[in-house]
Amino acid sequence: MSIADCALNTAVRGPWGMMQARRVCLFLLIAALAVTAACSVNPVTGKRELTLVSEASEIQMGVQNYLPMQQSQGGQYDIDPVLTEYVASVGNRLAAVSDRRLPYEFVVLNNSVPNAWALPGGKIAINRGILTELNSEAELAAVLAHEIVHAAARHSAKRMERSMLLQGVVLATAVATSDSDYGNFAVGGASVATQMLNQSYGRGDELESDKYGMLYMSRAGYDPQGAVRLQKTFVRLSDGQSTGWLTGLFASHPPSEERVRANIEMAATLPPGGETGEDRFRAAMAKTTAAGPAYEAYDEGRKALADEKPDRAIEQANKGISMLPEEANFYALRGDARILNKQYDMALTNFNSAIRRRDNFFYYYLQRGLIQEELGHDDLAETDLETSITMLPTAAAHYALGNITARSGNKAAAIEHYTLVAKGQGEIAQSANMALVKLDLADNPAKYLLKRCDPDSSGKLVVSVKNNTSLAITGVRIAVQYTDNTGIQRRIDRSISGSIQPGQVASVATGLGPYTAGSQCPATVTAARVAE
Ligand SMILES: [Zn+2]
């Protein structure tokens, strides 16, 4: 989409008025990001290029999205803070020799999917599931240097720009979790960002990140052959086509024989030798390597739960707990299985155990809040759901908060929560939409009934209304302020008898005229209610 296309989109209004021009426009995004088009030199490649997003905006995007993105991908792997420190030290060593000063940060996420990502502004994350596939510090350096280049050479910023242009602000729905990916829970900006993770970088960006990543490895004293070995491993694993790999790193950074060849050629131009750091890597990974079987049991359990086999899931959770009792996720898995069994008291105990072990992960608060609501404890539910939203705004939390605030009589708050969810897609958006209509229709009928005005065959005004909701609506009243040729103003009120089904149109003749097609529509919808 171009700026011109976008302008067109807002200018062209459907026959049912403004409501159809709902596409979020580039202009809004530009305003939000304080974007300025400028010609500048890419700090990594030295090429001249057009930039839309200023460096300050890049950094701001990264900072704003870093925590919610981490949450949506399983949260930090905090049972082994020494490993995170180690990964950050390798990352910082590479960042120090990169071609662009950015506020780089590196975290390890508690996620078995092999993946790594970079946000604009140098905010980088690497999953536990990729670390377990590596054999040396040089290979780790290859992954991190590659991500550093994505940030430094503005690939991430460009991708984010593209993603925003194509999708606008998409609000995702809360659906059942698969593996440890919570991305589709997010709403608002966080959901745009998480969807971006699954989009592929271009072939050119990948080659560029490999090339300059190897240069940074060499500058930092690492053996650039680490990148060759890494790429060979990736190609071998992608042949295996395990789903984790396909949805993870390979989706965003597709491996190829071409990349292997290019890495071999690049290595030949760099000084040979350098550190591989195999022993250091092995030592840093000791705890995580030992925890491997516990996480395998957990991942098995998540799959069992997705297949609606709660007993098998509990079995696997217990296995994980016996091997690694400090891992909160295992208790959460047990809790999720108990939710499926409708054993809410037991599920509550499980999520209490999870939160005692990790108090900074949205999912535990979301689930505990939903359990509390189920148990009739609206106050406790509200506290937990609000806590979860501060970490990652989700459709599930907003919908439940909509129900809770509606029950307590706080209509304005309920409307706010439902509106946010209704903008998304899927079943929960439909439910939110219905709840919203029920709460708000009588107060704001014009929001849900779209009007249009047409002349009949004798040039008199006919007003039509379209039911833009998924509920039948009745009691519709329309007011028309009509000024005739002599300048005399008349107001008439009309009722539409019967009910209007979802998506249907009802028309009423006013007898007022003359009315010219396309001129201003002088009608207002003044009353309506949901049909019983
Ligand atoms: Zn990449």
pLDDT tens-digit profile of 291-350? 999 999 999 999 999 999 999 999 999 999 999 999 999 999 999 999 999 999 999 999
pLDDT in tens, 344-371: 999 999 999 999 999 999 999 999 999 9
Average pLDDT over residues 163-192: 42
Between the CA of 76 and the centroid of ligand 1 the distance, in Å, is 21
Q: Which two tokens stand for residue 123?
A: 């905010």
Say if residues 496 and 465 touch (Cβ distance below 8 Å). yes
Residue 519 confidence (pLDDT) above 80: yes
Residue 36 confidence (pLDDT) above 60: no
Average pLDDT over residues 3-12: 30
Between the CA of 209 and the centroid of ligand 1 the distance, in Å, is 6
- Phi, psi at 79, each rounded to 5°: -75, -10
Q: How confident is the model at residue 239 (pLDDT cuts 50, 70, 90)?
A: confident
**Spatial separation of the C-alpha atoms in residues 48 and 180, rounded to whole Å:** 40
Beta bridge partners of 509: 462
**Spatial separation of the C-alpha atoms in residues 200 and 250, rounded to whole Å:** 8
Q: Which of 498, 509, 492 is nearest to 467 (CA)?
A: 498
* Structure confidence at residue 183 (pLDDT): 45
CA distances from 320 to 11, 70, 75, 300, 448 (A): 57, 23, 18, 10, 51
* Structure confidence at residue 460 (pLDDT): 93
Identity of the amino acid at 199: Q
Between the CA of 155 and the centroid of ligand 1 the distance, in Å, is 9
Between the CA of 201 and the centroid of ligand 1 the distance, in Å, is 6
Between the CA of 196 and the centroid of ligand 1 the distance, in Å, is 13
Between the CA of 146 and the centroid of ligand 1 the distance, in Å, is 6
Query: What domains appear along the chain, each with residue ranges and CATH number?
Result: 1-33 (no CATH), 42-164+192-288 (no CATH), 290-440 (1.25.40.10), 445-530 (2.60.40)
CA distances from 181 to 42, 111, 123, 315, 354 (A): 33, 8, 19, 21, 18
pTM of the model: 0.82
**Spatial separation of the C-alpha atoms in residues 147 and 429, rounded to whole Å:** 35
Residue 186 confidence (pLDDT) above 70: no
Between the CA of 207 and the centroid of ligand 1 the distance, in Å, is 8
Higher pLDDT, 399 or 249: 399
Between the CA of 70 and the centroid of ligand 1 the distance, in Å, is 18
pLDDT in tens, 80-121: 999 999 999 999 999 999 999 999 999 999 999 888 999 889
Residue 169 confidence (pLDDT) above 50: no
How many other CB atoms sit within 10 Å of the CB of residue 270? 17
Q: How confident is the model at residue 246 (pLDDT cuts 50, 70, 90)?
A: low
**Spatial separation of the C-alpha atoms in residues 448 and 457, rounded to whole Å:** 28
Classify residue 349 as exposed, middle or buried by CB count within 10 Å of its CB (0-12, 13-18, 19+): middle
Between the CA of 212 and the centroid of ligand 1 the distance, in Å, is 12
Between the CA of 116 and the centroid of ligand 1 the distance, in Å, is 9
Q: Which two tokens stand for residue 439?
A: 């709460």
How many Å is the maximal CA-CA distance in the chain?
A: 94
Between the CA of 115 and the centroid of ligand 1 the distance, in Å, is 10
Between the CA of 140 and the centroid of ligand 1 the distance, in Å, is 14
Between the CA of 151 and the centroid of ligand 1 the distance, in Å, is 10
**Spatial separation of the C-alpha atoms in residues 244 and 257, rounded to whole Å:** 20
Which conformational region is residue 241 in: left (phi greater than 0), alpha (psi within -120 to 50 degrees), or beta?
Answer: left
Between the CA of 188 and the centroid of ligand 1 the distance, in Å, is 25
Between the CA of 206 and the centroid of ligand 1 the distance, in Å, is 5
Say if residues 140 and 106 touch (Cβ distance below 8 Å). no
* Structure confidence at residue 310 (pLDDT): 97
**Spatial separation of the C-alpha atoms in residues 144 and 281, rounded to whole Å:** 14
Residue identified by tokens 């505990």 is 368
Between the CA of 202 and the centroid of ligand 1 the distance, in Å, is 9
* Structure confidence at residue 2 (pLDDT): 33
Say if residues 227 and 210 touch (Cβ distance below 8 Å). yes
Q: Which two tokens stand for residue 163?
A: 């993603």
Helix (H, G, I), strand (E, B) or coil at 373: helix
Helix ranges, 277-394 (H): 278-284, 286-290, 292-306, 310-323, 328-340, 344-357, 362-374, 378-391
Between the CA of 252 and the centroid of ligand 1 the distance, in Å, is 6
pLDDT in tens, 450-459: 999 999 999 9
Q: Which two tokens stand for residue 375?
A: 């148990």
Classify residue 395 as exposed, middle or buried by CB count within 10 Å of its CB (0-12, 13-18, 19+): buried
Q: Is the dihedral of CA 394, 395, 401, 402 positive or negative?
A: positive
Between the CA of 131 and the centroid of ligand 1 the distance, in Å, is 16
**Spatial separation of the C-alpha atoms in residues 493 and 336, rounded to whole Å:** 55
Between the CA of 472 and the centroid of ligand 1 the distance, in Å, is 50
Q: Which of 31-40, 61-70, 140-149, 171-180 has the lowest mean pLDDT?
A: 171-180
Residue 170 confidence (pLDDT) above 80: no
Residue 194 confidence (pLDDT) above 90: no
Between the CA of 281 and the centroid of ligand 1 the distance, in Å, is 22
Residue 408 confidence (pLDDT) above 90: yes
Between the CA of 110 and the centroid of ligand 1 the distance, in Å, is 20
Q: Which of 173, 177, 131 is nearest to 313 (CA)?
A: 177
Q: What is the DSSP letter of 20?
A: G
**Spatial separation of the C-alpha atoms in residues 228 and 250, rounded to whole Å:** 16
| CA 207 distance to own-chain centroid | 27
Q: Which two tokens stand for residue 347?
A: 């599920």
* Structure confidence at residue 488 (pLDDT): 86
Between the CA of 262 and the centroid of ligand 1 the distance, in Å, is 14
Average pLDDT of every residue of the chain: 85
Q: Which of 29, 71, 77, 76 is nearest to 53 (CA)?
A: 29
Percent of the chain with pLDDT over 90: 63
Average pLDDT over residues 129-134: 93
Between the CA of 121 and the centroid of ligand 1 the distance, in Å, is 16
**Spatial separation of the C-alpha atoms in residues 384 and 364, rounded to whole Å:** 9
Between the CA of 444 and the centroid of ligand 1 the distance, in Å, is 49
Q: Which two tokens stand for residue 409?
A: 């009589």
Between the CA of 145 and the centroid of ligand 1 the distance, in Å, is 10
Helices (H) and strands (E) in the chain, counts: 25, 11
Between the CA of 34 and the centroid of ligand 1 the distance, in Å, is 27
Between the CA of 226 and the centroid of ligand 1 the distance, in Å, is 16
Q: Which of 91-95, 224-228, 229-233 has the lowest mean pLDDT?
A: 229-233
Beta bridge partners of 116: 126
* Structure confidence at residue 187 (pLDDT): 54
Percent of the chain with pLDDT over 70: 83
Between the CA of 418 and the centroid of ligand 1 the distance, in Å, is 37
